[in-house]
Amino acid sequence: MSKIISPIEKAIRENISNPSSVFVFPTQTAADMWAEKITEDEQHRSVAMEQFAAWDDFKGRSIKSRNQDKTSIPSLMRQVFAANLIQQNAQNPFLASIIQPDFASDASGFTKWVAKLLPSLRAWKEMSPDESEWDEEDRDFSNIYGRYKEFLDAHGLFDPAWETPPFEDDGHEYFIIYPEVLMDYSEYKGILESSPKIHLVSTKSIEKTEKIRAKFYENSRVELRETALLIRNLHDKDGIPWARIALSVPDLETFAPYIERELSLYSVPFSMRTGRNLSETAAGSFFVQAQECVQNDFSLESVRNLLMNNALPWKDQKLNERLVEFGKDKSCICSYRYGGKHVDVWEESFEGWLWRARKLSELYNGLGADVPDGEAIGREDFTRAFGIVSGDEEKWKKVVEFFDGCHHPLPEGIGAEEFASHNEKYAKLDEKELRRLYETLRFMLQGKVGRGTFEEIYANSFSAHRTEIESFLAEKGVPIGKNADGREFSEAALKAFRKDEKSAREFFAGIGQEIPQGLVTADSFAEINKSYFRFKSYFFDMNKCDGKSDRIISRCIKELGTLGELEQAFPDCPVPNPFQFFTSHLSETPYVMKSETSGVQVFAYRAAVASPFDAQIVIDASQDSVSVSSLYKRMSFLNEMKRSRLGIEDIDPTEDFLRIYGMSEKAESSFSASAKTFGGYAFLHGMLEPENLIPEPSKGIIPEMGYDIYGEEKDALLQTDERDFVLYRRKSAGIGKPSYPAFLFGEMGRGFSTWKNAAEKIDGGASKEKIRAAVMAKLWDDERKRIKVSQSALKLFFKCPRLWLYRAILNLEAPDNEALLIERFTMGNVYHQILDTFCQKLKNKTENGVKGIPLRTENGALDQTRLALLMDSIDETLKTFRANHIPKMLLLTDRAAITEQMVKTVTEFSKEFEGLFIAETEQTYDYMPEGKNYFLSGKIDCLLFDKTSGDFTLIDYKSTAGSIPAKNLYADGPDSVPDPQIPMYKTILENQGNGTAEKVTAAAFYNIKDAKATFVFGNDSKKTPDDFGATIERFIDMADEYAERIAACDFGITDEAQTYQTCAASDCSDYRAICRRFFNVNRK
């Protein structure tokens, strides 16, 4: 047994029999454990808990103020005072150095710092009597001191840190355990050491030994594994109960997840005895997330963080998910200001569906279907409308033209149900409740009203207060008609509110319909409390709330109640932003969750000091981690020069802590550190003697490590006598093959069972048939009785059949919760649409009685006719291009750049193909080869025609040079894989029987950005159409192989085709987890 606990044990055993003896420990943990431990002695089977106290409790009951008529200021009130002081300074600056006047209005971040220096100002004042030596910073300190003193005196308060109180002799004998490690002991040292009733059990009484030995590992992962093995040995071999082992960690926040993982792997039960700040807990983060929604103007990220917080008991989580998905799909990344106007991107996105609904109402009402207006229209209305318009050829034609114009064409032969569904998909009517959810969320958090807010007031008070409401609205310049319905009333009230929010709130409150403040924007803690319960009633179902979240939220509301009590008690000291103050308070209020399991006690370093654990283990004992001198630095707000002038001496109890931790009840205390930690490189604390466990194989240094069952199992499964680099495996006794471990940890068994159960459920035959059915559902054409083959499918399949299966057939996509400001292909699609529109205009333009005009330039530029057609094409495209609100606005604001690019592109395009006519643009062609089980299908961007020669030129647009497959345009062998696009298009065109046969004499990729053509054959290419024959033959072989393999569900891969470079590409790497094709360091 170690001797280091003997000073404590000696003091307790000698004095515990005296009921007036009280033992004061650094922490409550130590006090409770010593009270429990002492009862293990047969002479002391029971003790009075009042005899074991923590230092903070002792101070509260034994050191009193001389001012008995005053009350101690609540510690939280210091922060309230600091916040109020900073607000006063912002209004009329009186601080010159601590907060620069230029930044006084934006100095709320100094609140905590000012609050922390308040307790030290009295001591500073007494130590700095000579005002002639003060600088601006000192005068600021004095100013704050004076204002704080006035506040205390005005409210009958005193600050305990400002007192020099006497020790109150209450008849007890106090034994202060290890006072050197108490952070504020120096402030009470004089009065306590002079009292005959106070006895100090100093760290000096600990018998000094040689330097404490500590293990030094290569990295923290090895350190944690060895620590887990050590703990198992302490329990399994030495018989120490789990709960009597303490693990202390300096940086527990960083190490916690790794500790949890490692101890779980080795089946070590544990209890994390550390608190997290309330705002860092899942449920407690609600208030911070609500604040971020308002601060970030309900950006998609802030809304998602709040609504997807599954620790909160949402009434309708599915609706939350739908709103977030809507925001992602509609690119509701952030709201913005444009032209001096605030634009709510959510509202604009919702207006999109509302506009579509209104258009449908106008359409069907115009055709005599008599459907409701706008958002009131529903599925049954579409079904009724179908019965009216489907039997009338003219009406039906107008409906078809409407949907064609909206790029949402009606399928041929559509029935009533399909028609209603088609209308619903176009109008997205289900977004109505999403809009209501968003508006309510914004209203509850920000107090920003929407039309729905006034609809509710309308329903509650319209009939009783109609005259008053009409008068108020007229007064605000938004008169309302006598026959106005609820929607018209709501829109008018909203306009009035936005014109004059203050008077609108006063008016509606006067008629008993108060418009409540938002949770985040409330002007008092009392209002925050009311707003929270209003939010809770609307959004939360507390029956769904688990006990953990319920306790955390309750604690947050309790803290809010405390702030409300201070607000009521000190009305002359308000804070400028109550909700921000509240969340800041939550961010530094620790909450220790009661552990539901008993096991190894995991503490933050210092928390378990002086506690009588049977085994004390300290990890990460590096120089920086275990040094505590900065925590004990007095008046740290002063610079070193001033602290030196005032004679302030620093205290460094680092050595005291290490010596105390170096004592355990039974097992020898363990210290360890690592050269490479999770946060960087480190070295062992200078007081510790290192036991170097860093392996150096080149020197034959392979340190002995703990017995690891995981390593033993691996060795046995590999069936090898030796490994090339054996570091962490215990060699089995004797010689020969490693023995299989005698037992398995729980995690090992559970992992095997999970794998076994999953494997037993796999039916290879059934899976193959399901895949075959999915392939046929995607590719089989019932009308043609053939498999559809496209160039994009061929390209993907021959890159990797698995990738083709995952992406093209199973539609598997890597999870992506991020919304893009503008999609990757948006600009390319805009350019394509402009070119398509321009080519259509050239094709349809009549000149001299002839339909169709050729590509032409005059003096190297477009003539007025063609330039005008291009300008019209740009305008039409930007107007009709389907995009979300923000991308659409970006396109409109970028019109000049788009115009510049397209004028350059079309001019160079016209020069390159001068005199050619537009045969087709964006046209889909099919070809069914005779005797094959597939047909080819492709959409050709542009087909040019030379009227003189009758030759055709095939064009495919590419947005950039990187999109052109320059490296594999041609076949170079029987196993080569040329890009299939041009070969397929040429094959299809030459088999149309419409005059294009054997007349496609040139084909090119056209780079829109660089306005440059890359010819595959013909024109200035070195290849002729005949030279391209070998590539077409290879393409046909590829099409045959593709159709044959997918019909047989053959998705096998080869090392030759699917190389490391192929699998490492970004599009393949997304599927690595399910493909499970891995390469060694040699990329094999």
Same structural domain for residues 191 and 218?
A: no
Amino acid 735: pLDDT = 39
Q: Which carries the bigger pLDDT value, residue 739 or residue 900? A: 900
Same structural domain for residues 1077 and 954?
A: yes
Same structural domain for residues 170 and 183?
A: yes
pTM of the model: 0.78
Q: Which residues, other chains included, contact 668 with Cβ-Cβ below 8 Å and sequence gap of 6+?
A: 2
Task: Answer yes or no: is pLDDT of 4 > 60.
Answer: no
**pLDDT, tens digit, 9 for 90 and up, residues 928-981:** 999 999 999 999 999 999 998 889 999 999 999 888 988 888 988 888 889 999
The residue whose two tokens read 């060895």 is: 226
Q: Are 122 and 161 in contact (CB under 8 A)?
A: yes
> Kind and range of the H or E element at 1064?
helix 1060-1064
DSSP 1: -
Task: Answer yes or no: is pLDDT of 389 > 90.
Answer: no
Same structural domain for residues 1064 and 1032?
A: yes
Residue 702 lies inside a defined structural domain of this protein: yes
Same structural domain for residues 283 and 340?
A: yes
Q: Which carries the bigger pLDDT value, residue 352 or residue 294? A: 294
Q: Strands 670-677 and 680-681: what pairing? A: antiparallel
Least confident of 65-79, 273-287, 871-885: 65-79
DSSP 745: -
Q: How far apart are CA 905 and CA 1010, in angstroms?
A: 7
Q: How far apart are CA 99 and CA 773, in angstroms?
A: 72
Q: How far apart are CA 541 and CA 149, in angstroms?
A: 47
Amino acid 1077: pLDDT = 67
Q: Are 1019 and 1044 in contact (CB under 8 A)?
A: no
Confidence of residue 360 (pLDDT cuts 50, 70, 90): confident
Task: Answer yes or no: is pLDDT of 1075 > 60.
Answer: yes
Same structural domain for residues 59 and 199?
A: yes
Least confident of 429-433, 861-865, 1072-1076: 1072-1076
**pLDDT, tens digit, 9 for 90 and up, residues 406-419:** 667 887 778 888 88
**pLDDT, tens digit, 9 for 90 and up, residues 641-700:** 888 888 888 788 988 899 888 887 788 899 999 999 988 899 899 889 888 888 877 766
Q: Helix H segments across 784-862?
A: 791-799, 801-804, 826-844
What integer best gives the mean pLDDT of the chain?
A: 84
Q: Which residue type is seen at 334?
A: C
| Domain final residue, candidates 868, 883, 915 | 915
Same structural domain for residues 75 and 60?
A: no
Amino acid 728: pLDDT = 34
DSSP 250: T
Amino acid 889: pLDDT = 84
In 630-741, at which residue ranges do the beta strands (DSSP E only) sit?
670-677, 680-681, 688-692
Q: How far apart are CA 801 and CA 782, in angstroms?
A: 24
Task: Answer yes or no: is pLDDT of 262 > 70.
Answer: yes
Q: How far apart are CA 628 and CA 345, in angstroms?
A: 50
Give the residue from 507, 505, 502, 500 showing the smallest Cα distance to 470: 507
Q: Which residues, other chains included, contact 301 with Cβ-Cβ below 8 Å and sequence gap of 6+?
A: 333
Residue 191 lies inside a defined structural domain of this protein: yes
Residue 832 lies inside a defined structural domain of this protein: yes
Q: Strands 786-789 and 952-958: what pairing? A: unpaired
Task: Answer yes or no: is pLDDT of 857 > 80.
Answer: yes
- Long-range contacts (CB closer than 8 Å, 24 or more residues apart) made by 894-902: 898/830, 898/831, 898/834, 898/874, 899/871, 899/874, 901/831, 901/1008, 901/1009, 902/831, 902/834, 902/835, 902/870, 902/874
Q: How far apart are CA 1008 and CA 838, in angstroms?
A: 14
DSSP annotation string for 345-359: HHHHHHHHHHHHHHH
Confidence of residue 775 (pLDDT cuts 50, 70, 90): confident
Same structural domain for residues 729 and 852?
A: no
Q: Are 607 and 272 in contact (CB under 8 A)?
A: no
The residue whose two tokens read 């643009």 is: 921
Share of the chain above pLDDT 70, in %: 87
Q: Which of 228-242, 466-480, 508-522, 724-738 has the highest mean pLDDT?
A: 228-242
Same structural domain for residues 792 and 933?
A: yes
Q: How far apart are CA 435 and CA 443, in angstroms?
A: 12
Residue 512 lies inside a defined structural domain of this protein: no
Q: Which residue type is seen at 416?
A: A
Characterize 377-388 residue by residue with b for buried, 16 or more Cβ atoms within 10 angstroms of its Cβ, and e for exposed.
bbeebbeebbeb
Same structural domain for residues 948 and 1084?
A: yes
Residue 449 lies inside a defined structural domain of this protein: no
Q: Helix H segments across 16-135?
A: 28-38, 55-62, 75-91, 111-117, 121-127
Can you state the percent helix, strand and coil of the chain, rounding each to 5? 50, 10, 35
**pLDDT, tens digit, 9 for 90 and up, residues 978-1009:** 999 999 999 999 888 755 555 889 999 999 99
Q: At what angle do helices 486-499 and 501-510 cross, to 10 degrees?
A: 130
Q: Which of 286-300, 393-407, 629-643 has the highest mean pLDDT?
A: 286-300
Q: Which residues, other chains included, contact 170 with Cβ-Cβ below 8 Å and sequence gap of 6+?
A: 61, 62
Mean pLDDT of all residues in 328-341: 86
CATH number where 221 lies: 3.40.50.300
> Dihedral of CA 315/321/324/326: which sign?
negative
Task: Answer yes or no: is pLDDT of 68 > 80.
Answer: no
Structural domain count of the chain? 7
Q: How far apart are CA 1062 and CA 1082, in angstroms?
A: 15
> Dihedral of CA 1066/1072/1073/1074: which sign?
positive
Amino acid 843: pLDDT = 93
Q: Which tokens is 54 given?
A: 């923590």
Least confident of 376-390, 597-611, 897-911: 376-390
Three-state SS at 640? helix
Give the residue from 123, 153, 158 showing the smallest Cα distance to 141: 123
Task: Answer yes or no: is pLDDT of 723 > 50.
Answer: no
Radius of gyration of the chain (CA): 39
CB neighbours of residue 1040 within 10 Å: 15
Amino acid 975: pLDDT = 83
Residue 89 lies inside a defined structural domain of this protein: yes
**pLDDT, tens digit, 9 for 90 and up, residues 10-37:** 889 889 989 999 999 998 889 988 988 8
CATH number where 1006 lies: 3.90.320
CB neighbours of residue 340 within 10 Å: 5
> 335 lies in which domain range?
276-356+522-591
Counts of helices then strands in the chain (DSSP H, E): 41, 27
Residue 564 lies inside a defined structural domain of this protein: yes
Q: Which carries the bigger pLDDT value, residue 360 or residue 672? A: 672
**pLDDT, tens digit, 9 for 90 and up, residues 416-437:** 888 888 888 777 766 778 888 8
Three-state SS at 646? coil
Phi, psi of 1080 (to 5 degrees): -85, -175
Mean pLDDT of all residues in 275-294: 93
Confidence of residue 736 (pLDDT cuts 50, 70, 90): very low
Q: Are 654 and 628 in contact (CB under 8 A)?
A: yes
| Domain final residue, candidates 205, 229, 264 | 205
Residue 401 lies inside a defined structural domain of this protein: no
Same structural domain for residues 1039 and 944?
A: yes
Q: How far apart are CA 59 and CA 90, in angstroms?
A: 37
Q: How far apart are CA 430 and CA 428, in angstroms?
A: 5
Same structural domain for residues 285 and 336?
A: yes
Phi, psi of 568 (to 5 degrees): -75, -35
DSSP 43: T
Amino acid 713: pLDDT = 67
Task: Answer yes or no: is pLDDT of 65 > 60.
Answer: no
Q: At what angle do helices 431-446 and 525-539 cross, to 10 degrees?
A: 160
The residue whose two tokens read 């030995």 is: 213
Give the residue from 482, 480, 432, 470 showing the smallest Cα distance to 452: 432
| Domain final residue, candidates 862, 883, 915 | 915
